[in-house]
């Protein structure tokens, strides 16, 4: 085995070990609180909106799909969830005319109502566009939820419910956020089936 092979094996083992240890940093009660908030939104026939940047933008799209399509049960009302990343015309118009920091809260101004839920995905918790959206959601009385990493940032103080991954590797944080998105959507589907 070459030195390069050994180096890769060491990196591989260290990366996966650190990723696995991320699970231990997440508080189960925090995840349950998110499920409960989304369940309340579902029972009240409210909507869920999800946003993030970069890899968290991809996760936001995936999470919204899990919450809508992934929770569908024949004969039951659907959970209405969507990502704020889908309307590229709106995103680019706001970014061009008003600045990128406004792309999410401007969208929420057109659709978010009291009792709806807003989910922000952010490793740092400090991205101006998700912070601005969270402040708006909080102001109008929506359920506010943040999935975070690193030190948690501003969103850790702003959101009603936070799921915090104590890790500074964005890849590991984003992977765990998506893992938890699947867990949450499957738990919600189970609740919908039993309701």
**DSSP state string for 42-95:** HHTT-EEEEEESTHHHHHHHHHHHHHHGGG--TTSPPPEEEETTS-HHHHHHHH
Q: How many separate helices (H) and strands (E) can be counted in the chain?
A: 8, 5
- Cβ pair 38, 67 in contact under 8 A: yes
Mean pLDDT of the chain: 96
Q: Give the pLDDT mean for 6-26.
A: 91
Q: What is the DSSP letter of 101?
A: G
Q: What is the pLDDT of residues 65-99, one digit of tens each?
A: 999 999 999 999 999 999 999 999 999 999 999 99
d(CA 130, CA 122): 8
User: In the chain, what are the domains?
Assistant: 26-194 (3.40.50.10490)
**Residue 51 CB partners (closer than 8 Å, separation 6+):** 57, 60, 83, 84, 85, 104, 118, 119, 120, 121, 129, 130, 133
Indicate the burial class of 96 (C-beta count within 10 angstroms; 0-12, 13-18, 19 or more).
exposed
Q: Give SS3 for 155.
A: helix
The helix-helix angle for 170-194 and 3-22 (nearest 10°) equals 40
Share of the chain above pLDDT 70, in %: 99
Site of tokens 């799209």: 61
Indicate the burial class of 120 (C-beta count within 10 angstroms; 0-12, 13-18, 19 or more).
buried
Q: What is the pLDDT of residues 18-68, one digit of tens each?
A: 888 888 899 999 999 999 999 999 999 999 999 999 999 999 999 999 999
Going by C-alpha positions, the residue among 138, 112, 123 that lies closest to residue 47 is: 112
**pLDDT surpasses 80 at 101:** yes
Counting Cα atoms < 13 Å in the Cβ hemisphere of 90 gives: 14
d(CA 154, CA 176): 20
What confidence tier does 172 reach under pLDDT thresholds 50, 70, 90? very high
What confidence tier does 4 reach under pLDDT thresholds 50, 70, 90? confident
User: In the prediction, which pLDDT does 26 show?
Assistant: 96
Site of tokens 């070990």: 17
């Amino acid at each position: 085995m070459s030195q390069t092979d050994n180096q890769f094996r060491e990196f591989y083992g260290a990366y996966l070990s650190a990723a696995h240890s991320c699970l231990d940093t997440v508080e189960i009660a925090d995840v349950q609180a998110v499920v409960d908030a989304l369940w309340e939104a579902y029972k009240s026939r409210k909507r869920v909106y999800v946003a993030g940047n970069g890899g968290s933008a991809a996760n936001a799209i995936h999470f919204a799909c899990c919450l809508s399509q992934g929770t569908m049960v024949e004969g039951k009302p659907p959970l209405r969830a969507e990502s704020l990343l889908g309307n590229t015309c709106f995103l680019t118009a706001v970014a061009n005319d008003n600045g990128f920091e406004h792309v999410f809260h401007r969208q929420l101004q057109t659709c978010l109502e009291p009792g709806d839920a807003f989910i922000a995905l952010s490793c740092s918790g400090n991205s101006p566009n998700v912070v601005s959206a969270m402040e708006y959601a909080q102001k109008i009385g929506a359920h506010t939820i943040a999935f975070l990493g690193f030190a948690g940032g501003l969103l850790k103080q702003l959101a009603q419910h936070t799921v915090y991954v104590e890790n500074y590797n964005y890849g590991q944080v984003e992977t765990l956020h998506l893992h938890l998105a699947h867990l949450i959507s499957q738990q919600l589907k189970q609740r919908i089936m039993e309701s």
